[in-house]
Amino acid sequence: MTDKSSQIITFLQSRDWLLGTLSCKFLAAGEYNENYIVSTADNDYVFRINHGTQLGLSNQIEYEFHVLEAVEDSGVTPTPYHYTQDCNNLGLGVLLMEYIPGTSLDYHRNLDDAASIFAKIHSLPTDKKLIRQENPPQDISKESHGLIHRYPSKYYQDVRTLLLRYYDKIMGLSDGYLKMLLNESLCIVNTEVNSGNFIINKSQAYLVDWEKAVVSYRYQDLAHFLVPTTTLWKADYRLSPQEREQFLRHYHAKSNLTLSFDELYEKTSIMEEIILLRAMSWCYMAYHEYTITNRELVHNDTFDKIVAYLNEAECFLA
């Protein structure tokens, strides 16, 4: 990955998105986006370059911009300013948004902060521009099945067999779990809530990465936050039973829900099984993507984590 700072400044000046003297430096990159800090005399901004999609979209950066607009009133997400897919060879699209300083979420100290963020996001009205997942077991299973079969199977044949068996198990849960969700409202969910996607500073906590958000049930976010594939990803941390309960109780208290805490806990626990299928299917796909394709963004630490997860697949899916 080459530094694109000078290219970004030239692009911004040509579009008049920012005025005055600009400086730019690399901030961070994920699997499908890279981010730079652009500074003016008065403010800092994030310039986001998109290189791929997890949602199968041809307009990924436009979609993320609309998501950021939909969640802006929560007060816990970055403000979006501009986007375009006509971006002078800067990836597949670019987005300019608010820069929020701070550090990543600490599971020891910030569980209540995360719960409060989810309560605010989940109370927002849904948006017709966003993808709807009204049957999470089937929707996530379908996505996972596609991930498993995306590339010719060259490696980890035993994991592939395990994943397909686990897929059948989750599909078997579908009808029963959907009945449990009757009369529950849909909400905007982020669906990708590892510790690195939270920003904590002295004034507030934020959730900043919105590339994969959809309209679905709150349990997608709650379960994704709790599963070990998430907590181990950036922080090498496993939540204790007491921490899991603390997080969910704080969320329950902040959300003004009519359902009982025990019901919230049960539905979240079942969703965790479903989320694990997607997490491990992505790792299986990503291993092949890293090894047999010319991937735009490559991270050695990510690849090492993928290998570690695949080597422990039987434990995760037990």
Query: Closest Cα partner for 285 from 150, 93, 105, 102?
Result: 150
What is the per-residue pLDDT for 74?
98
- Asked whether the predicted pLDDT for residue 186 surpasses 80, the reply is yes
| Helix 241-255 with 261-292: angle, nearest 10 deg | 110
Give the chain's domains with CATH numbers: 5-98 (3.30.200.20), 111-316 (3.90.1200.10)
DSSP code of residue 72: G
In tens, the pLDDT along 242-294 reads 999 999 999 999 998 999 999 999 999 999 999 999 999 999 999 999 998 77
Distances (CA, A) of 174 to 55, 85, 270, 318: 21, 37, 10, 19
C-alpha 313, offset from chain centre: 21
Binned at pLDDT 50, 70 and 90, residue 138 comes out as very high
In tens, the pLDDT along 72-91 reads 999 999 999 999 999 988 99
What is the per-residue pLDDT for 98?
98
- Asked whether the predicted pLDDT for residue 1 surpasses 70, the reply is no
Binned at pLDDT 50, 70 and 90, residue 299 comes out as confident
User: How crowded is the C-beta side of 21, counted as CA atoms within 13 Å?
Assistant: 1
Q: Is 147 helix (H, G, I), strand (E, B) or coil?
A: helix
- Asked whether the predicted pLDDT for residue 240 surpasses 90, the reply is yes
